[in-house]
Amino acid sequence: MPHTGRLLFGFILALAGLAAAGVAVAGQLATVNHFQCYRVDPGTPWKPVTLPLTTQFGTEKAAVGQLVLLCAPAHKNGSAVTNPTAHLACYPIKAEGFQPKSVVITNQFQKSAPMTVVAPVTLCVPSGKAVTITAGPPLKPPVVKGLDNYECFSVKSAATATHDIHVVDQFGTANGSSLQPLSLCAPAQINGSPYVDSTTHLVCYGVKLGPDVKATPVSIRNRFGIATATVVKRQSLCVPSTKKLG
């Protein structure tokens, strides 16, 4: 093959490789839902527990508190929901010795946005959810597969994203705009549990969405057992994101 032909062929192969990588990243993000997170009033008593958590930032022992958030799979501006039964139940955590990290985040709202990861704040675990009904036997929440645990960290960011947002989930429909990054959630191993997708993170944004949700009793099933709670208020919107160290 002439020299020019070899160069052209190599260039075409390189373009094909880049295109395939782009498809892989897009497909990877597409496997993780958007989540609308709600404040909850817990109903079931909580027994404190300490767990070893491992993320790409390191390993730490975390003291886990009582349930504070339930995150429901959400259609954001028409996005697909690929795993409709997979919710995230989030618990406050305390962990010693974490050192702040600089990261760069990319998602549908922000491109190459620098942030500082400050401290661990919650552990979000895959959970099944059932709405509590007044008549008939209680519904049992499903067992959830295909979703990682996430350790969520508070972040500092100078950037505020402004977008028109339309969110639909199992609790209703809401609209809003303007987002402030609140936390970065990294896939986490608990006691060495395997990752489902170790590269796709979630960035959770504070966003004013209305109307608010009606108080809704639910039961939740996850690694901590079955518990009851009441969904009371919209809290944040979490979107699939890629992360690299800054």
Tell whether pTM > 0.75: yes
- State the average pLDDT for the chain: 86
Task: Name which of 15-24, 92-101, 148-157 the model is least confident about.
Answer: 15-24
Flag whether pLDDT at 139 surpasses 50: yes
pLDDT at 161: 75
Tell me the pLDDT band of 85, cut-offs 50, 70 and 90. very high
pLDDT higher for 208 or 150? 150
Flag whether pLDDT at 15 surpasses 50: no
* Residues 189/191/194/198 CA torsion (nearest 10 deg): 10
Distance CA 70, CA 61 (A): 23
Flag whether pLDDT at 98 surpasses 70: yes
pLDDT digits (tens, 9 = 90+) for 168-227: 999 999 999 888 999 999 999 999 999 999 999 999 999 888 888 999 999 999 999 999
- 225, exposed or middle or buried, with CB in 10 Å at 0-12, 13-18, 19+? exposed
